[in-house]
Chains A and B, each alone.
Chain A
Amino acid sequence: MTPLQLLDRWLKARLPADAGAWLETTAKALQSGSDRDFYIAISLVSRKIGKSDLALSPAELAQAAAARPGWDPRDWSLDQTARVYLLLAQGGDGPAFTRRLDQLCMTADIGELVAFYSGLPLYPDQPRHALRAAEGVRTNMKAVFQAVAHRNPYPSEQLPEDPWNQMVLKALFIGISLDPIVGLDERANPKLARILRDYAHERWSAGRPVSPELWRCVGPYATGEMLADLGRVLEKGTEPERAAAALALASSPDPAATGLLWAYPDLSVAVSDNKVSWRAIANFA
């Protein structure tokens, strides 16, 4: 099934009769409607459908991932789902879709922005929306940022390295978890490792805590001075910080990293026995 068919099915299974009828009638009417009708209908969604959680079952989440690899709508709400549904069903394709999406974003409220950004992986002509995704990363509204960054495969597939690095750094900066970022490990790069290390030093200088998740993107490129930083965390850090440093060292290509880690047999064993994980560290932090 296509994502559009899935959205339709999930909504039909959940919406009360009047809301379902409204959505069906509106989708039909929009096939020959004007831009104005389209924009008003998208806004009306929260009034007609409400904002309850979509609350997908594990089987439905599996359908989502099968229809569009990486798509993970577990946090979606009903209005969000219906907006993406209308946009996919009526947005047109190529330049027409982008024009309508730009117009919608220009006058959007918070809930609408969350919907439009979380729908990125489903839109036609995927590479066309990279600037839109980067714009979403620049937002100052946390919920909107999360709609791009969390459980969304679009950024890892389409964002160039600089905006990708910005997104990861900004997630740490505004205090949200890195673990739900799709493709975090695959997109690790030396420049990001350098930026994150600088950020850790800035935080240390200010006497502020450093998220243990930061080291996840440092580890694969950790050599030299970066290893010294990880050694410092291993020695002086809190439990989750030490676990993070151990995992980071284990992912480093530098043989010296292995030596450092071996100095802490308990952590060394925990890593090799898979007793610690980045997800557990994220949930703990």
Chain B
Amino acid sequence: MRFIDPHIHMSARTTDDYERMAAAGIVALIEPAFWLGQPRTQVGSYIDYLSSLVGWERFRAAQFGIRHYCTIGLNSKEANNEALAEQVLEVLPRYLMKEGVVAVGEIGYDDQTPVEDKYYRAQLALAKEFGMLVQVHTPHRDKKSGTIKSMEVAMEMGVAPNSVVIDHNNEETVKDVLDRGFWAAFTIYPNTKMGNERMVEIARKYGSDHIFIDSSADWGVSDPLAVPKTARLMLDRGIAAKDVEAICYGNALKAFGQSGQMKEEHWLNPEPVDQRMLFEGNSVLRGQAPRVGEVPPVDQRSNEVVFK
């Protein structure tokens, strides 16, 4: 089985993670623009960060045979610094149309302040102007009402539910999200958000339509293999393979594939220029043999490396 991790902050992860993810069958990932664990104070550090998402980090992923996509936006935490937020909003349009940018994200509410609301709306307007999808971060605190508010504001701004991914759902929010026609993503964290046992029950109850999972792994305690591990657990607990495939691969591709920037052929049958540019070379694997085209078949790898 192949996997996509549609929300993972690789800038905070090591090459060991990339190796294990590739070995576990992760073929593509999406890195949402987020904060760095502490607030940025200059627009320059924002520019360099966003450039690394479309530059170095994409190259780094490719060295391990993983296709890297990203979402671009001003996160809700840093939206609270209004002087900075204004400058960031000014530069965002220069990134939105880059290759491999699949959505405006991750945006939404954190403390649910008026300033967060202002910049959430401003970025929904940008998504409309550029015809883009939206990836919404829902708050950790006062989650249910924050999630509902995110959706209501999106609809009020005239953004279609099918072009919005609502992330970090749980048992309390999933029904509201699906009933309104939005995509419902679940973050599988070892300690908080969703554990993978709970995810099995959600799959049992809600099926696989418009639902997918991610790791949101970053610099905190998190697991970059959350998607393949949860897939294994779902299979072991009797969830049908086609539903597991949809939740761990197909639906993320369907949702973000609407951008036209993420296609299955990118990893199944890449353009010659990508084969030259992205799937060869080894500047990360200094002194080791490059991985180029020599990875064992996915099924075999995922069984050997992750699940034994």
Contacts and interface: CB of A to CB of B under 8 A. Distances in A.
A111 B283 contact: no
B51 A108 contact: yes
Contact of A44 (B51, B97, B283): B97
Contact of A51 (B95, B274, B283): B274
Interface stretch (A16-24, A140-148, A277-285): A140-148
Contacts, number: 85
B264 to A, nearest CB: 16
Contacts of B260: 47
A253 B94 CA distance: 55
A118 to B, nearest CB: 12
- Range of interface residues on chain B? 20 to 34
Contact of B97 (A47, A79, A174): A47
A175 interface: yes
A51 B273 contact: yes
Interface residues of A, number: 31
A175 B50 contact: no
Contacts of B58: 109-110
Nearest to B70: A109
Interface in A9-50: 36, 39-40, 43-44, 46-47
Given A52-B271, A107-B51, A109-B54, A46 B99 contact: yes
A114 interface: yes
Given A36-B93, A40-B93, A143-B277, 13 more contacts: A43-B98, A52-B271, A52-B272, A106-B47, A106-B51, A107-B91, A108-B51, A110-B277, A111-B277, A142-B59, A142-B283, A174-B283, A175-B281
B100 interface: yes
B219 interface: no
A185 interface: no
Interface of B: 47, 50-51, 54-56, 58-59, 91, 93-100, 260-261, 271-274, 276-278, 280-283, 287
Interface of A: 36, 39-40, 43-44, 46-47, 51-53, 75, 77, 79-80, 106-114, 140-143, 174-176, 208
A80 B50 CA distance: 21
A43 to B, nearest CB: 4
A111 B274 CA distance: 9
B54, B98, B276 interface centre (most CB from chain A within 10 Å): B98
A108 B283 CA distance: 20
A176 to B, nearest CB: 8
B47 A109 contact: no
7 contacts: A47-B97, A52-B273, A77-B273, A106-B51, A110-B277, A114-B277, A143-B276
A43 B95 CA distance: 8
Contacts of A77: 271, 273
A111 B99 CA distance: 8
B273 A140 contact: no
